[in-house]
Chains A and B, each alone.
Chain A
Amino acid sequence: MRFIFPTTAVFFLTPLAALAGGEAEAAGLPLQAQAIWPGLPITNSMVMVWIAVALITLFCRAATKRMALVPAGFQNFAEWVVESLYDFLSSILGGYMVKKTFWFFGSIFLFILVSNLLGLIPGVGTIGRYNEHGHIVGFLRGGNADLNMTLAMALMFAVLWFYWAISENGVKGFLVHIFAPKGDFHGLMLMFMVPIFLAVGVLEVISIAIRPVALTFRLFGNIYGGEQTMDKLMELVPKSLAFLPALPFYFMELLVGFVQALVFMLLTAVFLRLICEHAGDEHH
């Protein structure tokens, strides 16, 4: 039940937020990240990402500055996070692939999680300057509420996915994996199955091409939708009570922030696992 309610709520509220977003140019949270000051080529989401990078750097330095064999404090927490992530990814990718790719999947999870949670700090999106329409442009905006950021991550994964897929399978193995018949077919059956699997391969190529787009818009939509929902809910009541309707959704957004980080990492890991399945098995 704990997961059904937020998931259902997100399902119904995201289109609502998207509809609201359609009018975002006039009111509410704009679809695009805004320059923190007119003429300055720095957007509010970019500042948020830098803050996230700074926080991650500070935490990592604090956790690993004086490492001891018997961990305590930050080191203990950091080790728990890294080891849990590593074991979790290992169960998906296998021991061989996780060694090669953990730096990417671990980074993507932690970065998305930190960015999402930072976006929920009170003042993000609500403290800023008034634009020419008389609406507030926040000095800060959730890092993943900017399509440039989610697209950057998705495209970088796509490039790495191709690199890992080809380095593990070879070009021929890669093409065979996509287009060749799966199963033990011989003779007439093989002749019959070849065109079918070629067609399946074409569908697979389309699926591969769509993956970065889906990853991009899923993360952006959820984070932007959540922020927009809370923004709109706050407008429903007098300003003195504005925090009240948004409060339940605030807790839900904490969960959504974590779930979306997990979903992005899980999907990217599964996509890689699917293409490197045989390569990983051989190495095992």
Chain B
Amino acid sequence: MISVLALVTESSQNPVAELCGKFGVNWPFFIASCLNFVLVIWVLKKFAFGPIQAMLEQRRERIAEGEDKLKAIEKQLAESEQTTAAAIAKASDDAMRMINEAKLGAAAFSEQKAQEAIAHAQQILVKAEAAAKADRERLSIELKREFGRLVAATAAQATGKILTADDQLRINETALTKVEA
């Protein structure tokens, strides 16, 4: 195309040259236009495209970095949730186990205490019974003794004679045998 331009400017007989002449195309203005356009490209590249694209790239990197961080945080959160859930589950199991153990322990302790109480109560009963029996025997002996004395005294008054020890003993036994019967 440039060679055509050169040819054009040399020969005005050429129809292309005539066309270029009609439209005002000539070397100095054409070169000036090229330089102007190069200037535009340089200005845009240096002051617009370069910094803006660098900024866009920087922002893109920041966003990607943020996304990566977000993913890492989400992963950590998921892991933390898993760990927490596992810890809670373990704690729950431990608590259940401890509760069961406590229940079992409490039941055993309760049983033991109940048994102890029963044994103690039985001991008290035995003691009470023994005491009661001893009291009864003592009272019985005292009663027999008093009864014998009364019977002997009554018999002595009724007969008017003084009873011997053998008589008293025989009268007492006879009276007691009859009372007991």
Q: Which residues of B contact A111 (CB under 8 A)?
A: 37, 40, 44
Contact B45 A103 (CB under 8 A): yes
Additional 8 contacts, C-beta under 8 A, given A53-B43, A148-B26, A155-B1: A41-B28, A56-B40, A60-B43, A67-B52, A104-B41, A110-B44, A111-B37, A149-B37
Given A79-B52, A155-B2, residue A107 in contact with residue B58 (CB < 8 A): no
Contact B40 A52 (CB under 8 A): yes
CA distance A278 to B16 in the complex (A): 36
Residue B32, interface by CB 8 Å: yes
Residue B122, interface by CB 8 Å: no
Judged by DSSP, the binding face of B is: helix
Q: Which residues of A contact B36 (CB under 8 A)?
A: 46, 49-50, 53, 149, 152
Contact B40 A152 (CB under 8 A): no
A interface residues, how many (CB within 8 angstroms): 47
Q: Which residues of B contact A213 (CB under 8 A)?
A: 1
Residue B178, interface by CB 8 Å: no
Contact A156 B47 (CB under 8 A): no
Contact B44 A147 (CB under 8 A): no
Contact B24 A53 (CB under 8 A): no
How many pairs, one residue from A and one from B, have CB atoms within 8 Å of each other in the complex? 121
Question: B residues 11-57 with Cβ under 8 Å of A?
Answer: 20, 22-26, 28-30, 32-34, 36-41, 43-45, 47-49, 51-53, 55-56
Q: Which residues of B contact A32 (CB under 8 A)?
A: 22-24
Residue A63, interface by CB 8 Å: yes
Contact with B along A46-66 (1 / 0, CB 8 A): 100110110011001101100
CA distance A60 to B39 in the complex (A): 14
Contact B47 A61 (CB under 8 A): yes
> What residue of chain A has the Cβ atom nearest to residue B19's Cβ?
A147
CA distance A104 to B49 in the complex (A): 10
Contact B37 A156 (CB under 8 A): yes
> What residue of chain B has the Cβ atom nearest to residue A34's Cβ?
B24
Contact A147 B24 (CB under 8 A): yes
Residue A153, interface by CB 8 Å: yes
Can you name 11 A-B pairs with beta carbons within 8 Å?
Answer: A46-B29, A50-B36, A52-B40, A53-B40, A57-B43, A63-B48, A67-B51, A69-B62, A107-B37, A149-B37, A209-B1
Question: A residues 36-51 with Cβ under 8 Å of B?
Answer: 41, 43, 46, 49-50
CA distance A209 to B2 in the complex (A): 12
Given A41-B28, A148-B25, A151-B30, residue A53 in contact with residue B49 (CB < 8 A): no
Given A69-B58, A79-B55, residue A103 in contact with residue B49 (CB < 8 A): yes
Residue A86, interface by CB 8 Å: yes
> What residue of chain A has the Cβ atom nearest to residue B22's Cβ?
A31
Q: Which residues of A contact B90 (CB under 8 A)?
A: none
CB distance from B135 to the nearest CB of A (A): 105
> What residue of chain B has the Cβ atom nearest to residue A224's Cβ?
B23
> What residue of chain B has the Cβ atom nearest to residue A103's Cβ?
B45
Interface bin, chain B: 20 to 34
Given A46-B29, A106-B49, residue A60 in contact with residue B44 (CB < 8 A): yes
CA distance A212 to B2 in the complex (A): 11
Q: Which residues of A contact B53 (CB under 8 A)?
A: 82, 86, 102
Residue B69, interface by CB 8 Å: no
Contact B44 A103 (CB under 8 A): yes
Given A61-B47, A106-B49, A152-B34, residue A43 in contact with residue B39 (CB < 8 A): no
Residue A158, interface by CB 8 Å: yes
Q: Which of B22, B28, B29, B56 has the most CB of A within 10 A?
A: B29
> What residue of chain B has the Cβ atom nearest to residue A32's Cβ?
B24
Q: Which residues of B contact A46 (CB under 8 A)?
A: 29, 32-33, 36
Contact B56 A83 (CB under 8 A): yes
CB distance from A50 to the nearest CB of B (A): 7
Partner of A82, one of B26, B33, B48: B48
Given A41-B28, A155-B1, A155-B2, residue A78 in contact with residue B48 (CB < 8 A): yes
Contact A103 B52 (CB under 8 A): no
CA distance A52 to B41 in the complex (A): 12
Residue A168, interface by CB 8 Å: no
Given A46-B36, A111-B40, A153-B37, residue A147 in contact with residue B48 (CB < 8 A): no
> What residue of chain B has the Cβ atom nearest to residue A217's Cβ?
B23
Q: Which residues of B contact A104 (CB under 8 A)?
A: 41
